[in-house]
Amino acid sequence: MAKKTETRRTEELEREFIIPLRASMHQPSRKRRAGHALETVRRFITRHMKGKIEDVWIDPRLNEHIWERGVQHIPSRVRVKAIRFEDGLIEVDLLEGG
């Protein structure tokens, strides 16, 4: 009987997403909107990149973009680039432009 060989792809996976943050404007209280938006980004990336929530690393530029107008006035959506590395770490960066 032939021996089964399992080839598992452990390459980097890179994708671009537009994450809607509109619900983070209405669900939490006014003083928690930016923090809730960051948690929304973590949950979205975890769901779509098939990772763990503790393995998501958010770039400081994305954090500053969400907090740019203060805790109460968050953007309605953000364009991000997510990269999942071989060790399971997922890096989320802000995309420039439209």
- Fold classification of 14-94 (topology level): Ribosomal Protein L31e; Chain: W; (3.10.440)
How distant is the alpha carbon of residue 74 from its chain centre? 16
DSSP character for 55? G
Residues of the chain with pLDDT under 70: 1-10, 97-98
CA distance 20 to 44: 9
Residue 92 CB neighbours (<10 A):
22
CB 80, CB 62: distance < 8 Å: yes
**pLDDT tens-digit series, residues 62-77:** 999 999 999 999 999 9
Q: Which tokens go with 9?
A: 């792809």
Residue 84 CB neighbours (<10 A):
20
Q: Which tokens go with 21?
A: 């943050």
User: Whole-model pTM?
Assistant: 0.85
